[in-house]
């Protein structure tokens, strides 16, 4: 701790005691517990010796890691449905569409694509977390077929107790990913908070005619996923001291841009798309199905997973985010006989910076797989759109469906 200014401490503590509340935190009385226990007066600007950046394990400092920190989709949707409509003819896609990003028309041909995402750490290393956070925030623009242009940062950080070197490392990691994406970080906002949070508001552009939405899936579409699942449950495993699989492989996947996948999708032409993040594959898919008015058939034995994810779920490691996502999907999902419970749980697992889930007409399916392969991007054919409905998911096994696409 730095040398204490006793005169300043006395002056401020006298003011606080007269008020009956600490002037830096009205929830506390004066002298506060921090002063009694540590001999530090936060109101006077006194701080404990910061914990060095290299000693901090970020996962130990958060309640819910990564995109699992999102508000439950059921609660969020209940609020959004009560809000007034935005009656602006330039808004081509906004809150009612439930899409990944908003689209705002500037001219006949040019539209803005805008999104914002904020998350807690999902790995221990600050630089890696910054990379993952940036890739995750850019993903919504890619899912709409857009090109991201600029970013604004949103940061919450306990600067009274942690070394601000962590802020530098997170921001540096994010900027390195933005450089890969040709995106400029042009500003931001920061606040003090007890939990670390980082996010970015992204602005991109897209031609009105080529925007890809998630309410336009069609019967007969084939569904392709571009990243493995399981980051949520494996991150939770590490939080509770259990084996969490290959952390490096998971981190690299999360830090990988969905840019190449979006380029392949745009080249081939997709019916609809969404990225897979905190609401899990089934949560994002049911939103797509409800807004498109269709039923999706998903092959549980085709879902790609990181090593250890299925084993953890089968062993009873079920994070709270899975429960919240299950409630959101509700009775709109049914499973066929023989489908393992762990595979269903995997579909509900909250992902951080997951892949794109692309719905493509069957006649373009092979072209999409080839375009993804040419760009070094994983492509798993996980199901298809099988009919009209008010939004349903049927989970089966590919071996039970003779018409399953390869």
Given the residues 67, 111, 137, 237, the one annotated as active site:
67
**E runs forming strands in 142-275:** 147-157, 184-192, 197-207, 222-225, 272-275
Q: Are 365 and 285 in contact (CB under 8 A)?
A: no
> Helix, strand, or coil here: 285?
helix
Q: Are 97 and 91 in contact (CB under 8 A)?
A: no
Q: Which of 85, 91, 354, 380 lies closest to 211, judged by CA?
A: 91
> Helix, strand, or coil here: 32?
coil
Q: What is the DSSP string of 309-324?
A: HHHHHHTT---HHHHH
Q: Can you tell me which residue has the tokens 């494996």?
A: 234
Q: Which of 38, 48, 42, 50 lies closest to 26, judged by CA?
A: 42
Cα distance between residue 16 and residue 31, in whole Å: 8
β-pairing, 356-360 with 102-105? unpaired
Range 364-384 burial, b when 16+ CB lie within 10 A, else e: bbeebbebbeebebbbbbbbb
Task: Using CB atoms within 10 Å of the CB of residue 331, give its burial: 0 to 12 exposed, 13 to 18 middle, 19+ buried.
Answer: exposed
Side-chain half-sphere of 98: how many Cα atoms within 13 Å? 22
> Helix, strand, or coil here: 92?
strand
Neighbouring residues of 379: CB distance < 8 A, sequence distance ≥ 6: 224, 225, 226, 368, 369, 372, 373
Helix/strand/coil percentages in the chain, nearest 5: 40, 20, 35
Residue 67 a catalytic site member: yes
Q: Tell me how crowded residue 43 is: count the other CB atoms within 10 A of its CB.
A: 22
Q: Catalytic positions, please?
A: 67
């Amino acid at each position: 701790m730095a040398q204490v200014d006793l005169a300043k401490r006395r002056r401020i503590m006298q003011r606080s005691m007269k008020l009956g509340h600490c002037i830096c935190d009205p929830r506390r009385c004066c002298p506060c517990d921090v002063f009694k226990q540590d001999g530090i007066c936060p109101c006077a600007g006194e701080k404990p010796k910061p914990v060095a950046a290299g000693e901090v394990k970020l996962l130990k400092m958060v309640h819910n890691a990564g995109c699992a920190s999102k508000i439950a989709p059921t609660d969020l949707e209940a609020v959004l449905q009560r809000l007034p409509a935005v009656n602006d003819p330039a808004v081509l896609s906004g809150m009612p569409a439930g899409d990944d990003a908003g689209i705002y028309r500037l001219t006949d041909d040019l539209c803005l694509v805008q999104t914002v995402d904020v998350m807690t750490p999902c790995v221990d290393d600050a630089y890696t977390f910054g990379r993952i956070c940036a890739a995750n925030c850019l993903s919504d623009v890619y899912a709409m077929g857009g090109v991201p242009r600029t970013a604004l940062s949103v940061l919450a950080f306990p600067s009274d107790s942690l070394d601000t070197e962590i802020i530098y490392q997170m921001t540096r990691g994010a900027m390195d990913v933005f450089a890969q994406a040709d995106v400029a970080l042009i500003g931001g906002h920061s606040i003090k908070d007890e939990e670390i949070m980082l996010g970015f508001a992204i602005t991109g552009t897209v031609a009105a005619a080529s925007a890809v939405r998630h309410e336009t899936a069609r019967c007969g579409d084939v569904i392709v996923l571009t990243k493995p699942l399981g980051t949520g449950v494996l991150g939770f495993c590490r939080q509770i001291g259990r084996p969490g699989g290959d952390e490096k492989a998971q981190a690299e996947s999360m830090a990988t841009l969905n840019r190449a996948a979006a380029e392949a999708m745009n080249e081939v032409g997709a019916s609809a798309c969404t990225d897979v993040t905190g609401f899990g594959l089934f949560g994002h898919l049911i939103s797509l199905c409800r807004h498109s008015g269709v039923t999706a058939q998903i092959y549980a034995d085709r879902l790609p997973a990181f090593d250890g994810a299925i084993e953890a779920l089968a062993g009873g490691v079920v994070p709270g985010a899975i429960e919240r996502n299950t409630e959101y999907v509700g009775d709109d999902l049914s499973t066929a006989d023989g489908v393992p419970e762990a595979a269903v749980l995997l579909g509900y697992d909250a992902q951080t910076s997951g892949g794109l889930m692309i719905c493509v007409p069957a006649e373009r399916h092979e072209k999409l797989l080839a375009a993804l392969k040419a760009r070094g991007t994983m492509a798993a054919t996980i199901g298809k759109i099988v009919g009209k409905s008010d939004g349903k998911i049927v989970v089966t096994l590919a071996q039970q469906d003779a018409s399953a696409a390869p």
